[in-house]
Chains A and B, each alone.
Chain A
């Protein structure tokens, strides 16, 4: 993929504190990329550097081969949706959307017509004359989106835009934002600390931690092949098992509680190394009797958390805590404080080198 937005060696230092350290990133035209990480991981700082509200201590930002260095925020032609929307309370929805066109010298009649068209696109037909305080949270969100897109920006930045919405509305807006982004083909960066949001919306995810980029990959790659322990722990649920490689050729390791564990061999490690093995809770099968062809161990069940359609079974193998996710119907076979078998195959075990 050809690079459209390019960050090279971005660092940001506040006195003694390093907020960002050597961030490199290539984003293709029309891509939907999510910056995911806990608060204080540097994702918003990176966004603000792209927008021009913060300046990097070192490094460059280029859009379509042109450096943004020295350009003030209003000269960058980048649309931003802020966490609390930032709608102008003294302007109607249509006037809000017209504002960037007005700043670009567009005449009022033509500009307001274009604003109304944009409001139609985000599903707010006929709401143009309303003031922000007369709109619901989801509607305000749509106005903010329309306003950030109406001037055909070179980039769209979304800074945790769904944080203030309740769960149902949030899912609805995730779908809406994706639909609108696809329709317009605008290159988009979405900042969130919500991993399910990142998984469901992104073409690629950039995982931030402590001012560094941990991994850049598609949602499925991030989920199934996390490169670091942090990524494995932050995205989805996982059983992370400390182990020592006993045979790197065949893919064998051992752990005190689980004994010998086979994993899909990779060239990433060598015999005798300490590594972390990851097994996703939904890849573990729970049964009364051992299952042939799988690695079986006995687990003492401690807690069962029921979600209706599925359940999380938390227990211990020896002194190693393990989590197993089972479909709702399967959980009836087991009760708290009972012992059962859990099993998995070699393919379910993923080795994290770092």
Chain B
């Protein structure tokens, strides 16, 4: 029974990981369209990705839009989280609900809404339009992450700082902010990834002018199944693995260093 459960566990892992792993060999494939297993291997599609402006432009668009979305999201979420976590006021329940609404509403519904609403301002098919739409989707995620961190924050630390002569502003800069830094970074990272990854809204409103990478990949797979898609997937996969492991590695090296310094 135990052995059966172990094999079942492994099978589930393989099932989940397979689509992630399968794109890696395909990215080195010689085939003219997506095909598995690949008939032969070369690096041609990597060269194609890094030299073709039709791929590079959406890449830059995505980076730009995700960065701007992150900045806007955090500018809204940080004060909102402090207000909603630390203060009681009339309508707080409704405010809480509204913050989380975009998580519950299907993206396709939001997309249709943005398409017609932003159309009346003339910002469909612009960077600004996509940034605004993506920010709406990123806010609840960033808010959830940050509010969990803020709820766990020991407010005695702020009282201690005040008693030691730090003004409320200095207390925020020297105590609150540094202690919340990991939460802020993770929150911003989620906002960035959410925007970078978002496809449905991008298909509706990004147009040719602000075409994002996921949208371009979607168009490409419909028209020609260009193996460059596998290249991009592999690169993104690599970026994610780096993003997840780098902080772990850094903290491990740091703690080893302080342990050496302490002895």
Contact = CB atoms under 8 A, between A and B. Distances in A.
B170 to A, nearest CB: 6
Contact of A90 (B154, B156, B166, B178): B178
B189 interface: no
A22 interface: no
B174 A82 contact: no
A86 interface: yes
Interface stretch (B53-61, B157-165, B244-252): B157-165
Interface string A133-146: 01000000000000
Q: What band does the interface of chain B fall in when counting residues whose beta carbon is under 8 Å from A?
A: 20 to 34
A77 B162 contact: no
A134 to B, nearest CB: 7
- Consensus secondary structure, chain A interface: loop
B261 A103 contact: no
B179 interface: yes
Contacts of A100: 164-165
B179 A74 contact: no
A74 B166 contact: yes
B161 A53 contact: no
Contact of B262 (A51, A87, A129): A129
A327 interface: no
- The 10 closest A-B CB pairs, nearest first, are A86-B160, A100-B164, A103-B165, A86-B156, A73-B162, A80-B163, A74-B162, A103-B166, A90-B178, A82-B156
A103 B159 contact: no
Contacts of B167: 72, 74
Interface of B: 154, 156-157, 159-168, 170-171, 174-175, 178-179, 258, 261-262
- Consensus secondary structure, chain B interface: helix
A134 B262 contact: yes
Given A53-B159, A78-B163, 19 more contacts: A72-B168, A73-B162, A79-B163, A80-B159, A80-B160, A80-B163, A82-B159, A86-B159, A86-B160, A88-B157, A88-B160, A88-B175, A99-B161, A100-B165, A103-B166, A104-B165, A130-B262, A147-B164, A148-B164
B179 A88 contact: yes
A84 interface: yes
Nearest to A104: B165
A90 B178 CA distance: 7
Nearest to A90: B178
Q: What band does the interface of chain A fall in when counting residues whose beta carbon is under 8 Å from B?
A: 20 to 34
A80 B165 CA distance: 11
Contacts of B258: 131
A73 B159 contact: yes
A99 B166 CA distance: 9
Contacts of B174: 99
Given A90-B178, A129-B262, A130-B262, A74 B165 contact: yes
Interface in A71-102: 72-74, 76-80, 82-84, 86-90, 99-100
B23 to A, nearest CB: 40
A146 to B, nearest CB: 12
B162 A72 contact: yes
A196 to B, nearest CB: 26
A35 interface: no
A88 B175 CA distance: 7
Contacts of A51: 163
Given A129-B262, A134-B262, A84 B154 contact: yes
B179 A90 contact: yes
B165 A77 contact: yes
Contacts of B157: 86, 88-89
A137 to B, nearest CB: 15
Interface string A180-222: 0000000000000000000000000000000000000000000
B255 to A, nearest CB: 10
A82 B165 CA distance: 15
Nearest to B259: A134
B228 to A, nearest CB: 44
Given A84-B156, A86-B157, A88-B179, A99 B162 contact: no
Given A53-B159, A73-B163, A82-B159, A89 B170 contact: no
A151 B160 contact: no
Contacts of B170: 103
